[in-house]
A and B are shown apart, each in its own frame.
Chain A
């Protein structure tokens, strides 16, 4: 398998009152061609900032990629200038967001919002782009795509708007689709439909997907590989089956414990004790130590590194330092 995207030691920091806040602090992540990778972690762990860094859409100032590289298709995006980056965004890498209700422009027709991308990146004529837009809308499941072209977003429900977003994102046949919590704002049945659609499209077009989510149910549904983030760092990485069979990192185990189970409503709130510290207050030593039930003295003094293990698994925890694979 060849890597499509490789993040190496990516650090994205924010400057606030002259202090550098490490929102993303040394992330390594690899996405292969056609693979779906899930990025999970609690709120504030740096998932969105990681994905916006890949798009080079970090609000700057105050944000800045301060170290590391983003190798996409052999090119390092970190050093790419804005003009070249514009050719990649929406064309080779596209993105859909959590808020389908507000992510479409209210004053432009749905058709226009697809057509403009096709004319811009694929240099299509308007007529060609209109045809392609209808085709894309049909592909994401609209039966009356021709009429929809001239309508405005406010007439559509959240689920339908997210389908439009997917149609826009997939219109240039991107190599990588980044989906930042694409189903969080939708109700359960619609969630399942949107996930199915993404799975189908990724298979059909061999598109890699980076899906960000809080929801381990979504992970088991779509992902090939899972990357768990905590406090701006990767704490565990594994193939989806391995992770659900045997989570290694105490944080992952904690997350699994907080999956809401439908049978037992009271279980819902049993999650990890405590909250994610903000980046300006990351603890020294293991960043999870204050909340970790297994923490011991070493954890509070020394920061564990991400340990490579047999079977391609990785974990950032002293409990597993004996399993380090000799490469």
Chain B
């Protein structure tokens, strides 16, 4: 098992390397640069040149990349071009916990709602509740996060005043657990919807297939009641493919988090990413790309390990 994990981690290195090259190229290909997008328009051309010179922005792309890569390997992501002087790592570390909190809460919310509904749908396919769940999940998949988020803010926060409109906590207040949870509910729910809906569908189809297997007939022939047949003999088999789905959903989940953070003014790395992308803040964008890629790789590794734990047929 340990050697399997090490092997998988080593295999991820060339992948991460490739991702950095690609992202670097794409960012450079985008029109404009930090000086045209963000700087004070009244800045003198000579100052602008000085700035570009100082940060090496006029070097050929491959030179810039090698320089960046060398620093990155040493753990130095450089300074933000826009918020001058602030190290990128500091910017990220201030925000990463917020993002992890939001994603974790969403993920748990998605799983604890989607899996039971999916199981029920598979047990009673085409029943009234199953049909309701089906329609709702298609709506959930089809609804864009940002739109759903704005609608909720408009009705539940602005009109009804039940929830705060954004942020992680009330400003300038002492730490208060309920206040934190209160701020978390809407963004976590919005981020969870799309994946909750997809997950319900996956769970339904996976369980539906499992419930037609011969070993389920065996379990019934042993005299077990339906609940035990489904939960003990069906569920573990049905969840095995779902674990892989979790891994595959992670990138879109990170993308969804960025948009949700923006809508809810949630100070996480997603919001930082969007802002930096508009401002062409190259060092921040690159660092965030690496961080998300690492998150995805870790997520998939965890999924593979869980898969191996759940399915005794897998040998390392």
Contacts and interface: CB of A to CB of B under 8 A. Distances in A.
Interface of A: 55, 57, 82-83, 85-91, 94-95, 97, 99, 102-108, 116-117, 120-121, 152, 154, 165, 168
Nearest to B226: A82
B128 interface: no
Contact of A90 (B223, B232, B236, B240): B223
Contacts of A154: 312-313
A97 B215 CA distance: 10
A107 B222 contact: no
Given A102-B213, A102-B215, A107-B237, A95 B221 contact: yes
A162 to B, nearest CB: 12
Given A87-B223, A121-B223, 15 more contacts: A57-B221, A89-B220, A89-B222, A90-B224, A97-B214, A97-B217, A102-B214, A103-B217, A103-B218, A104-B215, A107-B237, A116-B232, A120-B224, A154-B313, A168-B222
Contact of A57 (B217, B232, B236): B217
Nearest to A104: B215
B223 A103 contact: no
Nearest to B312: A152
Contacts of A105: 215, 218-219, 233, 237
A107 B218 contact: no
Contact of B223 (A89, A97, A104): A89
Nearest to A117: B222
B54 interface: no
27 contacts: A57-B217, A57-B220, A82-B225, A85-B223, A86-B224, A87-B223, A89-B221, A90-B223, A91-B223, A94-B221, A95-B221, A97-B214, A102-B214, A103-B214, A103-B217, A106-B237, A106-B312, A106-B313, A107-B236, A107-B312, A108-B233, A116-B222, A117-B222, A120-B223, A154-B312, A154-B313, A168-B222
B277 to A, nearest CB: 44
The 8 closest A-B CB pairs, nearest first, are A89-B223, A90-B223, A90-B222, A102-B214, A152-B312, A105-B215, A95-B221, A86-B223
B253 to A, nearest CB: 27
A120 B217 contact: no
Given A57-B217, A97-B217, A107 B223 contact: no
Contacts of A120: 222-224
B311 interface: yes
B57 to A, nearest CB: 56
B222 A106 contact: no
Contacts of B313: 106, 152, 154
Contacts of A87: 223
B278 interface: no
A103 B221 CA distance: 11
A126 to B, nearest CB: 15
B17 interface: no
A314 B221 CA distance: 31
B310 interface: yes
Contacts of B312: 106-107, 152, 154
Nearest to B221: A95
A158 to B, nearest CB: 13
A97 B310 CA distance: 26
A102 B237 CA distance: 13
A88 B223 contact: yes
Interface centre among B213, B218, B236, B310 (most CB of A within 10 A): B218
Contacts of A107: 236-237, 240, 310-312
Contacts of B214: 97, 99, 102-103
Interface string B278-316: 000000000000000000000000000000001111000
Contacts of A104: 215, 218
A91 B313 CA distance: 30
A98 to B, nearest CB: 9
Contacts of B219: 105
Contacts of A89: 220-223
A83 B224 CA distance: 9
Contact of A106 (B215, B221, B224): B215
Nearest to A169: B221
Contacts of A102: 213-215
